[in-house]
Amino acid sequence: MRERIQERIIAVASAVGYPLFYVLCLVVFATWTFPFAKVRDRIVASFNESQRASGSSRELAIADMTSSWVTGVKLTGVRIIDREAHDTSKAEGKADAKNEIKIDSVVARVELLPLLVGNHNVTFYAEAFGGKIDGAWRDRGKTQSLDISLDAIDLAQFTPLTGLLEAPMEGTLAGTVKLDLAEAHLTKASGSVLIEANDVAIGDGKAKLMGKLAVPRLTLGTFAFNAEVKDGTVKVTKFGASGKDVDFLADARIPLRDELRESSLDANIRFRVSDAYRGKNDATKGLFGAPDSTAPGAIDLSPQMKQAKRADGFYTWHARGQLGKPDFSPGGTGGPALGPGGSGAAAHSKAGP
């Protein structure tokens, strides 16, 4: 009886084991011999072609592409370069870091079980900007969702932001982004954005903030950005910081477009420099005016900054235009600037931070 059972087990193992071993070998050797270099080149070419077709000067570069186990790939040395801005900076002899986004490595993996019911789920993990980014993209046909988690992002290396401010930054950032989309369109997005940065500081006394003023190092402390996304429009519910050197507050409304940089921005920005910072040294006294003096600082000699200053010491600015290239104008001294939300936002501004 025992011998008969053993013979049956051997027969079943032979019938099942050999095919499984064959499939395993097929997968392993297919992974080893897969033409990842050609796929990498195809991805780069397709991305760059689509950017040129849309009028963008951004270009993608990938140093290497390899397998990550059986269902994933690993990309290293990923760079997105604004070629037009890069060439301009090079011609002017300026540093080019702000025109380039660098990602050390990205691992993306397809989940197999959802494929059985027609869904396409991809999880990803990246090391970039000195920190970690992980998340998932889920495609269920007519609806898609994106979940992203950020951890320990070094603001000094976060070129999308330092490039916008045109000044060095310090601090670490963490948070989450959750979006649900219909037919993969940002114009039909809903969800939330929760971001917090700690120990934030801006400037070094040399670089001109947004190309306007060389500001000595400003400590913002903890900075928060919270937003709700509904029907393709981002409504910022919390955007500001109250630090040792400066109080900062903003409100914004952003109707999204599928090309994110082309999304419309309508925002009010308010900041006030503390007396302690104004009296910090001769540079800050000269720039913002000594706290015990009625003489204006150099910043108030600028017609735009003078126009932006309110009676309570806050400077108010209005930002509008494309998200990737906003225009800034002073909010005026005749009262608080109207907010994107209309009278409600204006009341909020009038009440002060």
Indicate whether 43 and 18 sit together in one domain.
no
Average pLDDT (159-172) is 85
Scored b (16 or more CB within 10 A) or e, 18-30 reads eeeeeeeeeeeee
Q: Cβ contacts of residue 274 below 8 Å, gap of 6+?
A: 244, 245, 246, 247
Check whether residue 93 and residue 184 sit in a common domain: no
Q: Are residues 117 and 25 in the same domain?
A: no
Q: How far apart are CA 349 and CA 334, in angstroms?
A: 13
- In 3D space, the residue among 25, 2, 5 whose CA is nearest the CA of residue 13 turns out to be 5
For the record, the structure tokens of 283 come out as: 């540079």
349, 334 contact by CB (below 8 A): no
**Using CA of residue 201, residue 322, residue 124, residue 63, what is the dihedral sign?**
negative
Do 67 and 29 lie in one domain? The reply is no
Q: Which of 322, 212, 304, 326 is nearest to 261 (CA)?
A: 322
Its domain, for residue 9, covers: 1-33
From 212, 206, 131, select the one nearest 168 (Cα to Cα): 206
pLDDT tens sequence across 5-41: 666 666 655 566 656 665 566 556 556 667 889 999 9
Q: How far is Cα of residue 179 from the mean position of the Cα atoms in its chain?
A: 14
Whether 96 and 219 map to the same domain: the answer is: no
pLDDT digits (tens, 9 = 90+) for 94-135: 555 567 889 999 999 999 888 878 888 999 999 999 999 999
Task: Mark whether 118 and 139 lie in a shared domain.
Answer: yes
Q: What's this model's pTM, rounded to 2 decimal places?
A: 0.75
